[in-house]
Amino acid sequence: MAFTQSMVLNLSGSAAVGLFAFAVFVYTYSSRIVKPRDPPNTPITVPYLFPWIGSFFTFNKDPLECLKQYHLSYGKYYKIYAAGRAVVVITDPDGVASISRDTTKHLDHKLVFSQILHGIAGFGSSIDFIQDLLDSKIFPIVKTSLSPALMSEVTGTVDSLIPLELERFYTSNSKATSLNLLEVIGRPIYNAGSLALFGPTFPLDSFHDFLELDSFLPQLLTRLPFIAQRGRFARLRMVSHLEKYIEEWWATDGTQDIPHASTTVMLSLTELKAAQVSRRDAAGTLLLFLWGFHSNMWFMIFWLLTHLVVDRTSMTRMISEIESFRAKHSLDQLDDPHCTPPLLESAIQETLRWATTSTTARYATEDTAVVVDGTPVPIMKGEYVLGDIRAVHYDPEVYEHPYEFKIDRYVTKNDDRLAAPKPSPWGRGKHMCVGRHVAVHAMRRFAVELLSTYDIVPTKPSSDGPKIPSINTRHFLGSLKSTEDFQILLSRRA
């Protein structure tokens, strides 16, 4: 039978209607039946163009700026898709605290931490085993040995070595020396801290390898081999330094300690040996220690000092406060809350507020919720959740001019005004930083020793005055970092 024109028109009309009905069916089926309706309060998703890739490239280019802009656009909670992962970001103080405390037990620390462990120490298939050992045996050892009651074994040695380490910048010809501030901080603390933890056989010549590893950490965390090459080599060199450090002890029955190594290191090594991990993995675990001890602390001290160096008035006030403290007290009273110089204390709190980035990342093992401002925000199984404490520390409703570094923000006023809420740089709950007491102690002590010994001024004040070095926006976990040299002139104080 031949088709007439009207039959063809009729047929194509019915096909169009059929196609439309089919499309409606597929949409309804996929959005209502296959994909259930989103639960109430589901976070808004940051829009993206390509599935799976999501916002990866935008985020990876400048994570700090992305987090800032997304917070401004989407508020207290939102969702980012990136490289096949969904990450719910929480920017509310109680929400961030409830991620760390995780009373639901559905927010797992392990998966995220194993990525960090892999980035820093490069563990292979043994990573799960090492992680269990860290959680069950080694972190509890560190927690006890670095508690305020016992930490003096480590901090006592750090305190006695810092002045000697600072002497190395002294030149007899009374001229000011031009130096990079990060080296003025990093070198003495690396030497003093590492000798205190590991004893005199620790390879101090590993300093530059450590610096390189630390600066390539964001690339190592992406696990993309081609962008992390230099970081991987630095990591290999660090592990090999530490393997050599333990080589002799590892070959013995372990009854004799490594000379002058701290209790923290010896008890941890003993646990590692008893658990029969390889020597390489034991060295990787020590590398994790070393990184935990140094990385964030150096940069906190760096930001504290850069702010003082660019602001001469604050520097003058700080020096005069330190002088009057030293006239009345011994340095050992620095940690005594009745004696700690108030401006120094305020400057440390302000640094911890200003320079802390995101501190808490977890993975949902089951559908769960994080309560944000009284609202339960659903987190679906398989999603990550990130506590953006920087957004909390920069809330303009809580902190006046939050992007400014106000050195006396935390100095208690004699009027009725409430002091600003203390920052939360250490996380909370089970995984709260075990080195926090040592970190604050070392920040106080180092600042006092350095500023009592040397005058520090910027090398090249620009026409509009000296500036804070630029922030490296790729580092969004832990503390703000800078990869820019900050040259200073150091001259011995009379």
- Positions in the binding site for ligand HEM (CB under 6 A): 100, 109, 139, 142, 289, 292-293, 296-297, 300, 359-360, 425-427, 431, 433-435, 438-439, 479
Task: Kindly state the smallest distance separating residue 38's Cβ from ligand HEM, in Å.
Answer: 28
Output DSSP code: residue 258. P
Which pair of structure tokens corresponds to residue 93?
């103080």
Output DSSP code: residue 169. T
Bridge partners (DSSP) listed for residue 356: 479
CA distances to 45, 87, 234, 443 from 54, rounded to whole Å, are 10, 11, 31, 40
- The values of phi and psi at residue 33, to 5°, are -100, -55
Q: Which is nearer to ligand HEM, 88 or 490 (CB)?
A: 88
Which burial class, exposed, middle or buried, applies to 442 when counting CB atoms under 10 A from its CB (0-12, 13-18, 19+)?
buried
* Rg of the chain in Å (alpha carbons): 27
Q: Which is nearer to ligand HEM, 219 or 264 (CB)?
A: 264
Does 433 count as an annotated binding residue? yes
Q: Which is nearer to ligand HEM, 58 or 194 (CB)?
A: 194
Task: Kindly state the smallest distance separating residue 82's Cβ from ligand HEM, in Å.
Answer: 19
CA quadruple 391, 396, 400, 405: dihedral, nearest 10: 30
Which pair of structure tokens corresponds to residue 195?
């000798």
Task: Kindly state the smallest distance separating residue 403's Cβ from ligand HEM, in Å.
Answer: 19
Cα 436 from Cα 447, distance rounded (Å): 17
Rounded (5°) CA angle 447-145-105? 105
Q: Which is nearer to ligand HEM, 120 or 234 (CB)?
A: 120
DSSP E strands: which ranges in 43-162? 44-45, 77-82, 85-90, 107-108
Task: Kindly state the smallest distance separating residue 255's Cβ from ligand HEM, in Å.
Answer: 25
Q: Which is nearer to ligand HEM, 179 or 265 (CB)?
A: 265
Task: Kindly state the smallest distance separating residue 385's Cβ from ligand HEM, in Å.
Answer: 12
Query: Please, how many CA atoms are within 13 Å of residue 334, restricted to the half-sphere of its CB?
Result: 25
- Indicate the residue whose CB is closest to ligand HEM: 435
The residues, ordered by sequence, that sit 6+ positions from 227 with a Cβ below 8 Å of its Cβ are 219
Task: Kindly state the smallest distance separating residue 461's Cβ from ligand HEM, in Å.
Answer: 29
Q: Which is nearer to ligand HEM, 109 or 187 (CB)?
A: 109
Which pair of structure tokens corresponds to residue 164?
């000697």
Annotated binding-site residue numbers for heme:
433
Annotated binding-site residue numbers:
433
